[in-house]
Amino acid sequence: MLMLSNCESPLRGQAVLITGAARRVGAAIARAAHAAGASVAIHYRHSATDAAALVAELNAERAASAVALAADLLDEQALTGLVDRTLDAFGRLDVLVNNASSFYPTPVGTITTRQWDDLLGTNLRAPLFLSQAAAPALTASNGLILNLIDIHGYRPLKRHPVYCAAKAGLVMLTQSLARELGPCVRVNGIAPGPVLWPESGMDEQHKATIVERTALKRIGTPADVAGAALFFMTSAPFITGQILAVDGGRSTSGH
């Protein structure tokens, strides 16, 4: 967790909505934004227990500074509701972090339309329509949209063509929204590399190969991604339409 001194509250008075924020990278971003003074809306779909625990933790540090909001991001009406509930809770919206993601293999020959709809829906359609729903509030606050992409939006990952296509689309959506929503709203992205291993598990030899092909010879942490998010939130007023790789140099490898 990123720790700031009591006098360092650059996000004081601001409100941040983070999708998929109950666990893992999303939770790290929520803690970092909260430590910087922001009120945070923690979106979740299935992780109700984790979301409730995180909200209780943050509210224990600063009363009424966090809420948990359940929603299915594939339901377009729910996206508008997420924005409305954040505004009801905090009276404003300054940052939208599109962090929620679906990730699983779809080898060619086995791909179904359900998988296509799920992976494109969660990783690309939801960020678009949630950004659209949030745009009026973010315009009023001169706010920020931050999309969590992936280095595999640029380079293919074997057995994951649909996921990679969705993240590649999110790269262009980030750049397009920066043009569409400027000058009032900045839109940027973060492309993590090896930060957390998939929850479904991974062969130890495969992990070792990834680390070996990473310039810093180690994996990162959710705090590394949260630090980049905090940079965009607090220290990048003249940056928009950009994607920052947080990958330990993995994307410099030719493999």
7 in a structural domain: no
Per-residue pLDDT at 156 exceeds 70:
yes
| Average pLDDT estimate for 206-211 | 86
pLDDT confidence tier of residue 1, bands split at 50, 70 and 90: very low
Q: For the chain, what percent of residues have pLDDT higher than 70?
A: 96
10 in a structural domain: no
**Domain span at 84:** 15-252
2 in a structural domain: no
Q: Catalytic one among 44, 104, 154, 163?
A: 163
198 in a structural domain: yes
Tens of pLDDT, residues 26-79: 999 999 999 999 999 999 999 999 999 999 999 999 999 999 999 999 999 999
Tens of pLDDT, residues 2-18: 444 445 799 999 999 99
CATH assignment at residue 90? 3.40.50.720
Per-residue pLDDT at 83 exceeds 80:
yes
71 in a structural domain: yes
Q: Is 163 a catalytic residue?
A: yes
Number of domains in the chain: 1
Query: pTM for this structure?
Result: 0.94
3 in a structural domain: no
| Average pLDDT estimate for 156-179 | 97
1 in a structural domain: no
pLDDT score of 2: 46
3 state SS for the chain: CCCCCCCCCCCCCCEEEECCCCCHHHHHHHHHHHHCCCEEEEEECCCHHHHHHHHHHHHHHCCCCEEEEECCCCCHHHHHHHHHHHHHHHCCCCEEEECCCCCCCCCCCCCCHHHHHHHHHHHHHHHHHHHHHHHHHHHHHCCEEEEECCHHHCCCCCCCHHHHHHHHHHHHHHHHHHHHHCCCCEEEEEEECCCCCCCCCCCHHHHHHHHHCCCCCCCCCHHHHHHHHHHHHHCCCCCCCCEEEECCCHHHCCC
Give 204's contacts (C-beta < 8 A, 6+ positions apart): none
Report phi then psi at 228, rounded to 5: -65, -40
Tens of pLDDT, residues 179-203: 999 999 999 999 999 888 777 767 7
Tens of pLDDT, residues 225-247: 999 999 999 999 999 999 999 99
pLDDT score of 244: 98
| Average pLDDT estimate for 93-113 | 97
9 in a structural domain: no
Angle at which helices 24-35 and 222-234 cross, to 10°: 40
